[in-house]
């Protein structure tokens, strides 16, 4: 009886176990089959991302400033190499490897051995030719050879002009993402959309090329065409190199703008960097100081005060201004000129850059009007030419935040912070007959197939001053470069130049001291038909000279002459100027 009961219980347990196992088998085979089939597939299959070809960055003429170059990863399948004694030395030679590098460690059982990375297209072509020759020879001897070299295409970013234009173009990080300049600002449009490929792997996780297949091809990035002119950019870079050698300054900025369109034709800074050596670039050098570094402009800001005072009919070019023999007390402080001037006309006040004269022009305007015109000239507004670059809007406090002294200091470029691009825009207003054009760095976009995707047209933003006022202001600025002005060294033979010098004392510990200056010159030519505005700002030049007329003006003369030639602007003798412009 006990034996029968024991047998019965055994049968029950067996039946129960069979039922559980059967149920689980049904689950595995039917219910969970898709899940485990997918896991099995993933175990011997893998997805490889296929990088898109990053779009180029080109100048206004289509000359490459940044481009992606195809390079290759080269692997060797030892199983398919039928004559290693002859083939390996040749591979070492083609890849630039030392003798015995491959032959000394070759194993026929080793498949897909990495030989080299970032191999150029020329070398890959030679490797392919060599492989084909070997395969043909093996076939003639009755063998059935298979390819023994595998190539995987990659892309590296190349900057053909090295440091030239680096502050604008920018560079990529190690993962191929833009970290500065145009590369960062338009990273999404340039990088395109990566594709993917599914491959099958062997038991060691290596790709089996015969099972390779495409799932989605990459979509290459678009090419961005800038307004930058590489010839003009080269002129700026060489000019800044000369300034750097002569004055060893802390920094230098230079901008060239076409006033009639707002196009930025050139932009350079020092210190700079070589984007081809991105791994060793210090983050401090990545800043485009023309956009990110606001500074007190000093006397070049007087162009704003001049335009406002003329437009508001506060003065004419011949209005006399008492410059108090070089010492003017206002709001409990004494303002000095570099030379003791008596009564000067507004034209002469501009030519000699009298601080007292411009302080009086500002006082006559009043805080509200001066502030309004400064804003209209583009002060305290970011240009927006490179999104996401940390561009500064500068500092221009609202009138209610001004002290009693401010109205005598802001007109001559103190208590206000501007970026170089803002000052170039402000001068472009006068050069363009009083019209403020939206600054442009991007001219358009081009598809990977070479089709035009978009064109960015010049955009008129607002009228700041009348055309007549701009003409009067231009005549006053021409006197700066004429005999007796502070900017005579900015003169360009064959052209009439309009411009303004600047020598800004840098504030140290809340007060202005001697020894640290920003020397600058901003101007345009020809004065009667301006083709470009050129700004040069030299931060803390070393040596005996620090005035803008001595440091920046000579550099302007040399660089402007070359830019005019590059743009095809024909020089002519400067026409005689009337001494009297007429009452306003």
Kindly list the catalytic residues: 299
Furthest-apart CA pair in the chain: how many Å?
Answer: 138
- Alpha-carbon distance of 257 to 458, in angstroms, equals 12
Nearest CA-CA partner of 426 in 500, 495, 511: 500
Nearest CA-CA partner of 291 in 375, 387, 371, 225: 387
- Alpha-carbon distance of 584 to 579, in angstroms, equals 15
HSE-up (13 A, CA, CB side) for residue 515:
3
Nearest CA-CA partner of 191 in 56, 72, 390: 56
H/E run at residue 5: helix 2-26
Nearest CA-CA partner of 416 in 395, 441, 391: 395
Whether residue 354 contacts residue 323, with contact meaning beta carbons closer than 8 Å, is answered with: yes
Nearest CA-CA partner of 375 in 312, 328, 308, 309: 308
94: Cβ contacts below 8 Å, ≥ 6 apart: 123, 126, 127, 130
Whether residue 485 contacts residue 479, with contact meaning beta carbons closer than 8 Å, is answered with: yes
Question: Could you tell me which residues are beta bridge partners of residue 465?
Answer: none
Whether residue 171 contacts residue 277, with contact meaning beta carbons closer than 8 Å, is answered with: no
Whether residue 350 contacts residue 306, with contact meaning beta carbons closer than 8 Å, is answered with: yes
- Alpha-carbon distance of 580 to 559, in angstroms, equals 31
Q: Is-cis flag, bond preceding 271, omega within 30? A: yes
Nearest CA-CA partner of 63 in 232, 287, 190, 300: 232
Describe the crossing of helices 230-247 and 548-566 by its angle, rounded to 10 degrees: 160
- Alpha-carbon distance of 429 to 426, in angstroms, equals 5
Q: For 142, left (φ over 0), alpha (ψ -120 to 50), or beta?
A: left
DSSP assignment, residue 490?
A: G
- Alpha-carbon distance of 327 to 329, in angstroms, equals 7
Positive or negative, the Cα torsion across 241, 246, 251, 254? Answer: negative
Whether residue 299 contacts residue 503, with contact meaning beta carbons closer than 8 Å, is answered with: yes
- Alpha-carbon distance of 251 to 132, in angstroms, equals 56
Write out the DSSP string of 441-465. Answer: SEEEEE-TTS-EEEE----EEEE-S
379: Cβ contacts below 8 Å, ≥ 6 apart: 304, 394, 396, 416, 418, 422, 426
Whether residue 409 contacts residue 416, with contact meaning beta carbons closer than 8 Å, is answered with: no
Cα 16 from chain centre: 75
- Alpha-carbon distance of 264 to 532, in angstroms, equals 10
Positive or negative, the Cα torsion across 299, 305, 307, 309? Answer: negative
């Amino acid at each position: 009886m006990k034996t029968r009961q024991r047998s019965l219980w055994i049968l029950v347990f067996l039946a129960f176990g069979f039922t559980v196992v059967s149920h689980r088998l049904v689950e595995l085979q039917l219910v969970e089959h898709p899940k485990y089939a997918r896991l099995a597939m993933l175990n011997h299959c893998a997805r490889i991302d296929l990088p898109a070809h990053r779009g180029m960055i080109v100048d206004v003429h289509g000359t490459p400033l940044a481009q992606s170059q195809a390079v290759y990863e080269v692997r060797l399948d030892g199983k398919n190499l039928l004559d290693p004694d002859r083939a390996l030395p040749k591979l070492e030679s083609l890849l630039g490897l030392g003798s015995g590098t491959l032959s000394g460690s070759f194993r026929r059982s080793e498949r897909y051995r990495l030989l080299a990375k970032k191999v150029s297209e020329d070398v890959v072509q030679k490797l392919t030719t060599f492989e084909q020759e070997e395969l043909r020879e093996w076939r003639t001897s009755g063998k059935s050879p298979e390819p023994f070299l595998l190539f995987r295409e990659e892309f590296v970013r190349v900057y053909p002009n090295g440091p030239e234009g680096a502050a604008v173009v920018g560079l990529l990080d190690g993962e191929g993402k833009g970290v500065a300049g145009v590369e960062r600002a338009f990273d999404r449009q340039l990088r395109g959309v990566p594709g993917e490929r599914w491959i099958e792997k062997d038991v060691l996780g290596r790709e089996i090329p015969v099972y390779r297949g495409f799932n989605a091809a990459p979509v290459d990035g678009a090419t961005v065409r800038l307004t930058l002119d590489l010839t003009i950019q080269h002129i700026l870079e060489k000019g800044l190199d000369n300034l750097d050698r002569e004055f060893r300054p802390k920094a230098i900025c230079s901008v060239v703008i076409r006033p009639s369109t707002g196009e930025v034709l050139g932009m350079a800074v020092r210190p700079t960097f070589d984007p081809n050596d991105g791994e060793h670039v210090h983050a401090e050098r990545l800043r485009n100081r023309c956009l990110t570094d606001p500074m007190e402009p000093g006397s070049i800001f007087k162009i704003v005060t001049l335009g406002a005072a003329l437009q508001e009919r506060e003065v004419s070019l011949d209005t006399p201004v008492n410059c108090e023999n070089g010492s003017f007390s206002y709001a409990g402080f004494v303002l000095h000129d570099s030379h003791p001037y008596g009564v000067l006309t507004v034209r002469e006040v501009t030519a000699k850059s009298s601080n007292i004269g411009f302080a009086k022009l500002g006082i006559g305007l009043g805080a509200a009007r001066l502030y309004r015109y400064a804003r209209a000239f583009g002060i305290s507004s970011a240009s927006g030419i490179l999104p996401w670059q940390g561009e500064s809007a500068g500092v221009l406090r609202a009138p209610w935040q001004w002290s009693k002294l401010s109205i005598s200091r802001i007109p001559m470029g103190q208590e206000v912070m501007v970026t170089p691009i803002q000052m170039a825009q402000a001068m472009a207003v006068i050069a363009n007959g009083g019209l403020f054009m939206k600054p442009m760095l991007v001219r358009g976009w081009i598809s990977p197939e070479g089709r035009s995707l978009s064109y960015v047209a010049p955009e008129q933003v607002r009228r700041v001053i009348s055309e007549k006022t701009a003409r009067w202001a231009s005549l006053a600025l021409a006197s700066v470069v004429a005999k007796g002005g502070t900017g005579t060294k900015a003169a360009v033979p064959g052209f009439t130049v309009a411009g303004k010098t600047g020598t800004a004392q840098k504030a140290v510990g809340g007060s202005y001291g001697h020894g640290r200056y920003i020397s600058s010159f901003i101007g345009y030519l020809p004065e009667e038909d301006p083709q470009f505005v050129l700004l040069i700002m030299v931060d803390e030049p070393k040596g005996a000279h620090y005035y803008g007329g001595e440091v920046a003006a000579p550099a302007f003369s040399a660089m402007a002459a070359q830019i005019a030639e590059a743009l095809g602007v024909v020089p002519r003798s400067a026409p005689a100027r009337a001494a009297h412009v007429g009452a306003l």
